[in-house]
Amino acid sequence: MSESPNKKIILITGCSSGFGMLCAVRLATQGHHVYATMRNLDKQSELLSELKIRDTTAEILELDVTVNETIKKAMHHIASKHGHLDILINNAGYGIGGAFEDLTDEDIRSQMETNFFGVLNVTREAIPLMRQRRQGKIINISSVAGFSASPFFSAYNCSKFALEAFSESLRYELQLFGIDVLLVQPGTYKTKIFYENRKYAKNFDNPESPYFPMSQHLKNKVSDYVESSKKNPEDVAELVSNLIVANKSKFRNIPDIETRIMAIMRKILPFSLYSWIIKTVTFKGLNNY
């Protein structure tokens, strides 16, 4: 169990695609022992081929953040092999779009189960593996949506705002045990979250919904915006890998300039002006608005 102090034992959730997969590959390439977890092992081929291209390896384990047995099994595996965990990256998540009235209770609860309670489930099992050595880092992948709410994303916004509050509170508690809690707040990046993994409210496409014209307008707007995004998802993986080796890090970390500007605006502008900007940008081009 005596391993180089530079080689970290890392668990990442949601590694079948996107940021999770990119983090797994980058960190494995840097020589860390990466546990790349995913809820559906049938989806590991993309990760495996990326690892192969870079001539590196990671251990792939099944872990669904909403299923406690899979979390306990993965943690037990790590505990029996290493006795501890250095880094937890809570990345798994998805986003559901739709006006509050078009969302069902189940739509909202499922969003919270994955993006919020899922993080709690995994973190609860990971802390004991860090606390005993009085060291470790928990990196929670939040979002611009964790500090700035927008129309038609209330469920996703709630999940990320809740994640931010949880992380802030947990940070104080775990500092007592030498464990750091950090947030990463990416803006919009072209990943599967906006394509095959995107989800809509139950009544999003229902022409009877009073929100139908706005929903359709927004659907096209988000698609165009994502398509035109030049941001590189690798920047998120690079930021995460920098946070892992840093001796001292800021609590909130933003990978892209656009979101950094939004964070500053959110801080300094009166809410009346900030919300006018959000509203104008969102609904610009919508007839009769």
Ligand X SMILES: NC(=O)c1ccc[n+]([C@@H]2O[C@H](COP(=O)([O-])OP(=O)(O)OC[C@H]3O[C@@H](n4cnc5c(N)ncnc54)[C@H](OP(=O)(O)O)[C@@H]3O)[C@@H](O)[C@H]2O)c1
Task: Find the catalytic residue in 35, 156, 189, 211.
Answer: 156
Give just the sign of the alpha carbon dihedral 169, 171, 174, 177: negative
Does 8 participate in catalysis according to the annotation?
no
Place of tokens 């950094």: 260
Q: Which of 8, 17, 35, 142 is catalytic?
A: 142
In the complex with ligand X, the residue whose CB is nearer, 91 or 215, is 91
Residues that bind ligand X (CB under 6 A): 13-14, 16-20, 38-40, 43, 64-66, 91-95, 114, 118, 141, 143, 186, 188-189, 191-193, 197
Cβ closest to ligand X, residue 188 vs residue 215 = 188
Q: Which of 160, 189, 211, 215 is catalytic?
A: 160
For the question of residue 156 being annotated catalytic, the response is yes
Q: Tell me if residue 80 is catalytic.
A: no
Catalytic residue, chosen from 8, 16, 167, 231, is 16
Q: Residue 159 Cβ, how far from ligand X at the closest point, in Å?
A: 8
Shortest spacing between CB 286 and ligand X, in angstroms: 23
Shortest distance in whole angstroms from residue 197 CB to ligand X: 4
Which CB atom, from 133 or from 219, has the smaller least distance to ligand X?
Answer: 219
Q: Which is nearer to ligand X, 19 or 152 (CB)?
A: 19
At 15, which amino acid appears?
Answer: C
Nearer to ligand X, 11 or 141 (CB): 141
Task: Count other C-beta atoms under 10 Å from residue 99's C-beta.
Answer: 20
Give the angle subtended at the CA of 146 by the CAs of 231 and 245, to the nearest 5°: 65
CB of 230 to ligand X, least distance (A): 13
- Nearest residue to ligand X, by Cβ distance, number only: 18
Give the nearest distance from C-beta 5 to ligand X in angstroms.
29
All residues at 6 or more sequence positions from 123 whose CB lies less than 8 Å from its CB, including other chains = 88, 90, 138, 170
Is 274 part of the annotated catalytic residue set? no
Q: What are phi and psi of 34, to 5 degrees?
A: -100, 125
* Closest of 118, 153, 165, 192 to residue 282, by C-alpha: 153
Rounded CA-CA distance 224/212 in Å is 18
Catalytic residue numbers read 16, 142, 156, 160
